Amino acid sequence: MEREHGERGRDRDRAVAEPDSTAPSLQGRNIFLRPVAPEDYHSLHAVELGESLGPRWRFRGATPSPEQWSQVTWSSTLAQFLVVARQSNKPIGIVAVHQANFQDGYAYMSAAHFESSRPSPAMMIGLAIFLNYVFACWDFRKLYMEVPEYNYERFATVVERYGQLEGRLRDHLYFSGRHWDQLTVAIYRDNWLSVGARAVRAAQLE
């Protein structure tokens, strides 16, 4: 009997001690994330270089060839997903993690909403789900985002709740007739897992 109780106790201790092995979900109630596929290239190339997003994001007005665009899209990329609206099954944005430094425990993250003129709560939920995914798959201490000052408002909610501003290059970027600061913000793993992950679970269950 004592042996049986001892074995049950050890089993119970192992159940408590073992980490959660559940795969991180890419699903939300109204959106989901899916990997970028070759059949997405044409539409992605068009939207990234289009009137709304093109001057504000990665290429900042330049128009690389499809071959150059593909190389830049995957250069140093660790993971990349489209944020897809469930109702229409159409992508509304893209999120990626790249320039991973496993020795020092950090990486860079980027995100773009395809209709950049309008704030998007759905895109913010997609970004939060992606953060959850990255911290679950890799042991990064923090994730950096380099955000032009003119784009900061679109990410301010996530940054102010779960991260902090770590750097500012003043008058670093030229856009729309003036110079803007470039901001470096960081999302810390510990803070995200204690606060942000709960927000993601709530969004997925709404």
What pLDDT score was predicted for residue 118?
A: 65
Whether 14 is in a domain gets the answer no
CA distances in angstroms from 124 to 31, 38, 91, 138, 201, listed in the order given:
10, 25, 14, 21, 14
Q: How many structural domains compose the chain?
A: 1
What pLDDT score was predicted for residue 186?
A: 94
Specify the CATH number for the domain of residue 155: 3.40.630.30
DSSP state of 27: B
What pLDDT score was predicted for residue 20?
A: 55
Q: Provide the Cα torsion 82, 88, 92, 52; round to 10°.
A: 140
Average pLDDT value for residue range 171-176? 93
Element (H, E) at 197: helix 197-205
Contact status, residue 114 vs residue 79, Cβ threshold 8 Å: no
What pLDDT score was predicted for residue 12?
A: 46
Whether 5 is in a domain gets the answer no
Average pLDDT value for residue range 188-198? 83
Whether 170 is in a domain gets the answer yes
What pLDDT score was predicted for residue 138?
A: 97
Is the model's pLDDT at 182 over the cut of 60? yes
Q: Which two tokens stand for residue 18?
A: 């073992």
Whether 93 is in a domain gets the answer yes
Average pLDDT value for residue range 18-26? 70
Residues in the chain: 206
Whether 198 is in a domain gets the answer yes
Out of 79-83, 145-149, 201-205, which region has the weakest mean confidence (pLDDT)? 201-205
Going by C-beta distance under 8 Å and a sequence separation of 6 or more, which residues neighbour residue 44? Answer: 36, 73, 91, 94
Element (H, E) at 164: strand 163-175
* pTM for this entry: 0.82
Smallest Cα–Cα separation from 142: which of 87, 94, 184, 205? 184
* Segments forming the whole domain that contains residue 196: 22-205
Whether 106 is in a domain gets the answer yes
Residue range 91-117, pLDDT digits in tens:
999 999 999 999 999 999 999 998 866
Angle CA 52–56–58, to nearest 5: 115
Whether 8 is in a domain gets the answer no
Whether 1 is in a domain gets the answer no
Percentage of the chain beyond pLDDT 70 is: 85
Residue range 131-155, pLDDT digits in tens:
999 999 999 999 999 999 988 887 7
pLDDT classification of 37: cutoffs 50, 70, 90 = very high
Report the distance separating Cα 126 and Cα 131, nearest Å.
9
